[in-house]
Amino acid sequence: MKVLLFDSPQKSLSPLVSLLKQQLCQTATASDPISGLKLMQKHKFDIVVIAQHITRTSVENLLKAIALKFPKCIRITVSQDESNTKQLTHYDFKEPIEPFDVINTILSLQDSHKLITKDVVVKSVAKVKSLPTPPKVYMQLNALLKQANADSEKVAEIITQDPSLTAKVLQFSNNTFATPEKPLTSISDAITKMGLDTLCCIVMTAELFSYQPDIPNFSVVDEQLHALATARFAASLVPAHLKQDTMLAGLLHGLGKLVLFEIDQRLTLKYFENNARKSEDILLEQRIFTTDHAQVGAYLLHTWCFPYFLIEAVLNYCRPDKIKNGTFGITQAVYLANAILKEQPLDKLFLEHYQFANQLEQLQEKALRFKQ
């Protein structure tokens, strides 16, 4: 990997240089942002690491410039306290840094970053005239729910600041959860009826699917309902500390379809002619589009500066060969929930490794509670 360090006058990032070179990473150091950006124009860096006290500009302005001019690059910052650049950086390490932690993080990103920033993925996304936009309200809610003092009034206040979103959330909630005799008329009613977690899921789907692509043989509403069901089912399979992030990964797992199927209508029709609409076929997508919805969705999340554990969940949820080792976590839960809800065959080695082979019937029954 090629790594560029934007260091401070105190050279706070210097401990990383020798460690990166030991790992055969091509490494350069910039003493100021201007010279660093010039280096980036000459060489394709995969990762930038930015010290807190840089000269001539702020970290925020530098991150914005890199995000705009070099969107494929992973952005890592080092800060002393709660940073106001979270929406612009993929990772933020607190000072004083532990060099080996930074190095291990950089090395762990190598394979995923290569897959999602391949030229074919980036060029495919560039062909689409109108792309989905980041779910900003949901991200506010997600941050709020991770705080100890989160309550329903604060959630309702954030949502109702956007009247259009409020209307969409209530419409979807009424269509999905309410009865005609007792319609939901306010966000507070919806929270009481469904709970905070489910309502926040609906906010996410309302934001993502406000983008209405015209895709033949593809129902955006069905995809929205499936995303919600997958999120809730997957979250029920993991420990409490993983629920919020698993729900988010479940909501985002099929995001790339909204873009992939808009790249070329002729190719999309060919895909659906060769594939039963109920199933997902990553190999067929690769053969027809030369990329797949998981790569496209993961690249979108990268450009939106989502953390890489979520990007990797979206990238690998439909690749059981990549996730059938280690502990059961977010990606595994989304794979299992998606496959069961879509009644797809499950990877036998995956089931054996995580000891689900004898629980399949119970899981299938449980899935029925989440289907709309």
Interval 295-326: pLDDT, tens: 999 999 999 999 999 999 999 999 999 999 88
DSSP code for 97: P
Whether the per-residue pLDDT at 338 is higher than 90: the answer is yes
The rounded distance, in Å, linking the Cα atoms of 180 and 160 is 23
pLDDT of the residue at 196:
84
Parallel/antiparallel/unpaired status of strands 2-6 and 47-50: parallel
Q: Which segment of 123-127, 181-185, 219-223 scores lowest on mean pLDDT?
A: 181-185
The rounded distance, in Å, linking the Cα atoms of 313 and 328 is 12
pLDDT of the residue at 276:
54
pLDDT of the residue at 66:
96
Residue for token digits 């709660």? Answer: 82
* pLDDT tens profile 7-43: 999 999 999 999 999 999 999 999 899 999 999 999 9
* Environment class of 7 (CB within 10 Å of its CB; exposed 0-12, middle 13-18, buried 19+): buried
User: Listing from the earlier edge strand, what are the strands of the sheet with 91-94?
Assistant: 26-30, 2-6, 47-50, 74-79, 91-94
Dihedral pair phi/psi, residue 118, rounded to 5°: -60, 150
The rounded distance, in Å, linking the Cα atoms of 144 and 199 is 13
DSSP letters of 300-329? HHHHTT--HHHHHHHHHTT-HHHHSSS---
Taking each helix axis as running N to C, give the angle between helix 308-316 and helix 330-341, from 0 to 180 degrees, rounded to the nearest 10.
30
* pLDDT, greater one: 281 or 177: 281
The rounded distance, in Å, linking the Cα atoms of 132 and 130 is 7
The rounded distance, in Å, linking the Cα atoms of 238 and 337 is 11
pLDDT of the residue at 281:
86
19: part of which helix (H) or strand (E)? helix 14-22
CB within 8 A of 225, min separation 6: which ones? Answer: 176, 372
Question: Which of the four pLDDT bands, split at 50, 70 and 90, describes residue 74?
Answer: very high
- CA distances to 3, 33, 51, 290, 291 from 8, rounded to whole Å, are 16, 10, 6, 42, 40
Domains of the chain, each with CATH number or no CATH: 2-108 (3.40.50.2300), 136-368 (1.10.3210.10)
Residue for token digits 């990032």? Answer: 13
Question: Which of the four pLDDT bands, split at 50, 70 and 90, describes residue 277?
Answer: low
pLDDT of the residue at 216:
80
Taking each helix axis as running N to C, give the angle between helix 243-252 and helix 308-316, from 0 to 180 degrees, rounded to the nearest 10.
50
The rounded distance, in Å, linking the Cα atoms of 180 and 313 is 37
DSSP code for 344: P
CB within 8 A of 41, min separation 6: which ones? Answer: none
Predicted TM-score (pTM) of the model is 0.88
The rounded distance, in Å, linking the Cα atoms of 205 and 201 is 6
Looking at residue 161, its amino acid is Q
